[in-house]
Structure formats: C-alpha cells, structure tokens
Amino acid sequence: MNRKDSVIYDGFELGSDAPVRVIACTSCAATMDLPLSGLLGSFVRWRHVEPALSERLAAAASLAPSEWTGLPELRTRDGFDPYLARLECPRCGVTHAVVLGYGEFQPARYLATVEAIVATADL
C-alpha cells in the first residue's frame, strides 16, 4: 500500500465533521464507506479477537512491538495504536477487518491511517 494513500485523516481530533472515506472490497471491488465520525468508539478491541486472526491481521498490517516501551503492545509503523473496524461489503456481503492506526503525529495534529484490509468471517 502506498504510504500517501494510507493516510485517511490529517487534522485535529476526529469530530462529527470528519469525512467518510471510501475503500474497495477485497473480493468484488465494490466501494465501502469507512465513516470516520465517531470511529474510535466503535472499534473492535484486539483482546476480543481470536489469537490466530490477531496474528494474521498484525502480519498483514506489519505491526510491531512498541519501540518506546519495549512492551509487547503492538504499534503501527508510525508508532500509533492499532484499531480494528469491521466493514461488510454492500454488494457481496464479505466481512472485512480494517486495521487502522490513529494517533498524534505532531502537537494537535492527528493522523488516521489504513494499515491493512483483510477479508475474514471471524470478526
């Protein structure tokens, strides 16, 4: 994935005026809306994901242990917390796990990035 293309939000903290981004279904290429407004509150928590799926998603998104703390918590390549969003394709019904990164890039400047999109029925 092109680094520039992976940034889906660049600005102040996500608010109600955040845009809706469009991503493509990995199965049929139909467009799916990824609403950024209120997104952080609707994420699937990593601890609720089966270990095999968690490892698959972490590998697809190239997540790595935190270099700052040395703890096993995963971070995106920008050092952001990874989040999972669940999207279902409106055309073919395939469920996708979207791995997103979100964090403060510079003081008062937040970025949201798409790290991976994986079709899965396990989320």
Ranges of each domain in the chain:
3-119
| For residues 52-56, average pLDDT | 85
Statement: residue 51 has pLDDT above 50: yes
- The pLDDT of residue 2 is 44
- The pLDDT of residue 119 is 92
CA dist 19 and 30 (Å) reads 19
What residues contact residue 69 under an 8 Å CB cut-off, 6+ apart?
none
- The pLDDT of residue 50 is 81
- The pLDDT of residue 1 is 44
Cβ neighbours of 48 (radius 10 Å): 9
Least Cα distance to 82 among 96, 98, 99, 65 occurs for 99
Are 91 and 30 in contact by the 8 Å Cβ rule? The answer is yes
Task: Record the pTM.
Answer: 0.76
Cα angle: 111, vertex 97, 103; to 5 degrees: 15
Statement: residue 69 has pLDDT above 70: no
**Is the model more confident about 33 or about 123?**
33
